[in-house]
Structure formats: C-alpha cells, structure tokens
Amino acid sequence: MTELPGENHHTYKPVPDWANLPAELVLGDVAGIAIDDRDRVYLFNRSNTPVVVLSQSGDVLSTWGQGIFENPHGASIGPDQCLYLTDNFDHTVRKFTLDGKLLLEIGTPGVSSGFMSGKPFCKCTHSAVSSSGDIFVSDGYQNACIHKFDPNGKHLSSWGSPGTGPGEFNLPHNICCDEDDWIYVADRENSRVQVFDVNGRYETQINNMHRPSGLAITSGTCPDCIVGELASYLEINQDFPNLGPFVSVIDQQSNLVSRIDTGKGPGLEPGQFISPHSIALDSVGDLYVGDVLDADWEKVMRNTVKPTQPRRFQKFKRLDV
C-alpha cells in the first residue's frame, strides 16, 4: 500500500484467502463485481459458472447463469436491487433479480449495431442505474458512446463519438452514477474519467491516471473515484514505473488520495494485480477487485508462466486513519 501525505481516509489492507471456494468451483476472469444492500458479493466471471454469490465472510451462497452469456464483462446493482450484467461479445445488457430471474434484456443477442455506429450496441462494456431507474450503458470496444434507456429498456438517447475532446471517447470501459445522478465514465484509452449529467451534458473530467479500467465511486456527494489502472501494453514503455497495474483513489480535483500498490509491479501476491478490471465497495467501505488474467497475462507478464489456477479477485479491508 502506497502511503501518501495529508488526510487519508482510504487506506486498505489485503485480506488473503478471504473466499471459501470449493475445489470443484473453478472461476475464470472476474470481469465484473457487484455488491447488494446485504453485502453479498456477485462475481461475474468467464467460466461455466458465470455468477457466483458470496457472503461478506466469503462463503458461497449460490451460483447461476449457465448457458446465458458469451463473454461476461460488467456487473452492477441498481437502486432497485437488481443485477445488471453486460456481455460485450453478445452485445447485450440483461437485468436479473438477485437470485437469477431474467427481467429485461436490452440489445439483440449476437447482433452488433456496427463499428462506430453510435447506436446500441457494439461490444458494450458496462452499465449503471440512476435514482430514477434510467439505465446508462457504456459502449466501448467498437463504439465510442453512452446510451440512455428508461427503466423498461426503451432507448432514450445516446451521446459521444471517437476522439479526445470533451464528450468524446477512446474506449469508454466503465460507468457509474453517484447519489446526485452525475454519470462517471472511465474513458480508458484517453486516461481520464469524464463526468456528465443525465442528459449527456459534459461537466468536467478527472485526470492523472493511466488507462482506467475498473471504476467505483465512494458514497455521498462529490465522491472520490476508485480506479483500476492498467499497465502499458506497448513494448516501448512496458517497464516504466508508475503506470500500473494498481488501484488508485482519486478525488474530484484529480489529486491522488491513496493507492494500492506493493511497488513490485504486476503479479499475484496480495496487493498486486495483472489487470484490475472490476471494483466494488461494500457498506463498511471494504474494497473488492476482480482481475482479468487470461486475456491480459501475456501482455503484462510476457514470458512468465501463468499458474494453472491463479487468483482471480481480491478483498481489501478499509482502515480509517
């Protein structure tokens, strides 16, 4: 954990071996993490058991979702206490009850809107729900926009285009709503978080980060951003320090508040990451981070052999100081 001067209300300690997974339950990349109002943890992962539900103490409560998803990518729980799961290969966002009953499907499974079409969806990445129940979807891998839907899945509007200016995107990878319904978008390859109102009007941007992939926000007004920063995949700067992978807490003024970083670079030790893809907070402020290893291992670790069953996610205990 990197210690920073000044007031620090976001110090985290790894909790090794937190989850009590049976040997027969083998996870894939934990692309999405969400937490409900009872602090149950939902792991949206790329395996034959796509949704694994854990108690706050790490016990397996249930599993479901077999045969539904092509490539799990994003998970969020709305104010309605429903689970929204984004599948980027299938071009869909699906809404479920917490026990796995399908309530709503947005998008046509397996049908893309077309490269940079500006229309829903072309490899959508994540979703978030406002206090009124409107659904916001980041559409990032082959699109560059945000889509807004009403609670019934009716398309209301879209905004964004490829680029680097305000309201433009270069892979919008994650999205969150705060308590005042401001929309935060992790604009990954522009290395920033952009902030919008519910109608898509650009408000500001938060900088001083590298390739934000995972994103969560703290509670209250004017929240801090908790960002999973990726390493560089370019040969020219793969070995540069201070470019990730790590998890950073950054305030609205783009100041680094704290950082989870062992200083040893990428890896599988407690507090290390390969590709911190998903982040969620529980009611006491503990932090959960999902890692994407299968897709990114060679880009990050190069000639290092990947273990047969590597760690896919971590829990961090918040320590107030």
131-188: pLDDT as tens digits: 999 999 999 999 999 999 999 999 999 999 999 999 999 999 999 999 999 999 999 9
Q: What percent of the chain has pLDDT over 90?
A: 91
Question: Is the CB of residue 199 less than 8 Å from the CB of residue 160?
Answer: no
What is the pLDDT averaged over residues 227-233? 96
94-116: pLDDT as tens digits: 999 999 999 999 999 999 999 99
What is the pLDDT averaged over residues 51-71? 97
Residue corresponding to tokens 């009124």: 132
Of residues 200, 112, 114, the one with CA closest to residue 149: 200
Output the CATH code of domain 11-319.
2.120.10.30
Phi/psi of residue 35, nearest 5 degrees:
-135, 130
Q: Sheet harboring 246-250: ordered strands across?
A: 212-217, 225-229, 246-250, 256-260
Beta bridge partners of 62: 53
Beta bridge partners of 174: 186
Write the DSSP assignment of 122-169 as a string of letters: SSEEEEEE-TT--EEEEE-SS--EEEEE-TT--EEEEE--BSSSTT-B
194-205: pLDDT as tens digits: 999 999 999 999
Using CA atoms of 196, 198, 199, 200 in order, give the dihedral in degrees to the nearest 10.
Answer: 30
- CA distances to 36, 126, 189, 205, 278 from 82, in Å: 8, 15, 30, 29, 18
For residue 3, is pLDDT > 90? no
pLDDT at site 4: 43
Question: Is the CB of residue 256 less than 8 Å from the CB of residue 250?
Answer: yes
Question: Is the CB of residue 147 less than 8 Å from the CB of residue 121?
Answer: yes
Q: What is the pTM of this model?
A: 0.95
Q: What are the extents of the domains in the chain?
A: 11-319
